[in-house]
Amino acid sequence: LYERQGEITMFRAHTRDNPYLDREFVASLESSYTGAFARQELEGEFVTFEGLVYEDFSRATHVQERAGPWRRVVAGMDEGYTNPAVILVVGEDGDGRLHVIEEFYRRRVLQGDVVGEAMRLRDAHGVSLFACDPSAAGLIAEMASVGLPVTAADNSVLPGIQAVKARLVTQGDGRPRLTVSPTCANLLAELESYVWKEGRAGVRDEPEKVNDHACDALRYAIMGAGTGVPLFAWEHDAIGWQDD
C-alpha cells in the first residue's frame, strides 16, 4: 500500500475515532505507545523509523542500582556460541516496575555451561521462569531435563520492541518503568547502538540484526511465553490486545 499510495484512494481513521472502543482502553494505548510507532498504530500513518530503536534510553534516567525486594524474578535468554549467549535476570517490584539485575554475556560457551549458569542465577536470584529464544530447542530441552522452569519465548519483534520502549518512558512521578544495573555493560552498549535497518523504498520497519543479543533477551524477558499472556500484568493494556 505504501508503494502504491499514488494509485489508490485511502481513508484514514485514528484509533480514538472508533466508537466501539472503550475510552479507557484508548487512553491506555495512547499513554503506552511512543514516537513514530504511535503515529503508525494510532494515527494510521505510513512512517519510517529513523536511527536508534531505543531513542528514549538514557543512562542518566535508566541506569541505577536497585536491591529489591522483588515480587517476581524472571530471565530472558538468547542462545549463542559464535555470537554471545545471553541471560538477563529481571526483577519486578511491588509497583510493577522492572529492573535488570544481572547479565551473563559470553561467546564460545558450551550449552551445558549455559545451563549451569542458568542454575546459578536461579539459585542466586530466585528466578521463577526462563523465557528462552524459541529457536533454541536443544537448550530448552536440556534446561527442562535438569528441572529449570523454562519456556519458549514470544519472539514477536515489533510488539516486543514496543513493550520495551513503553517501559522506558518517564512516568508522572518522574521515573521510568524499566531500569538497568550499571554492571550490565553489554546490555547498556546494545541499547545505545541498536538501530533500524533501511528496507524497501527507504522504509525502516525492522532493526538491524547486529549486536542485538542482549536486546533480544530483554524482549524475551518482558514478553514471556508465546501464549498471548504477558509475564508482567502491566503489559496487558499496552500489548495484550494484539493477540485478540
Q: What is the pLDDT of residues 188-198, one digit of tens each?
A: 989 988 888 87
CB 61 within 8 A of CB 170: yes
What is the C-alpha separation between 188 and 183, in angstroms, rounded? 9
**Higher pLDDT among residues 37 and 209, named by residue:** 209
What single string gives the DSSP state of each residue in 73-103?
A: EEEEEE--SSSPEEEEEEEE-TTS-EEEEEE
Q: What confidence tens digit (pLDDT) does each residue in 11-35 have?
A: 888 999 999 998 888 887 777 666 6
Q: What confidence tens digit (pLDDT) does each residue in 137-155 have?
A: 999 999 999 999 999 999 9
- Tallying the residues shown for the chain, one arrives at 244
The residues, any chain, with a CB within 8 Å of residue 68's CB and separated by 6 or more, are 91, 93
Question: What are the angstrom distances between the C-alpha of 170 and each of 97, 134, 174, 241?
Answer: 12, 31, 6, 23
What is the C-alpha separation between 119 and 216, in angstroms, rounded? 21
What is the C-alpha separation between 54 and 166, in angstroms, rounded? 10
Q: State the amino acid at position 35 in one-letter form.
A: G
Q: Of all residues in the chain, what percent carry a pLDDT higher than 70?
A: 85
Q: Following CA atoms 57, 170, 40, 230 in sequence, which dihedral angle do they give, to the nearest 10 degrees? A: 90
Is the confidence at residue 221, as pLDDT, over 50?
yes
Q: What confidence tens digit (pLDDT) does each residue in 107-121 have?
A: 989 999 999 999 999
pLDDT band for position 63 (cuts 50, 70, 90): very high
What is the C-alpha separation between 87 and 79, in angstroms, rounded? 9
What is the C-alpha separation between 150 and 153, in angstroms, rounded? 9
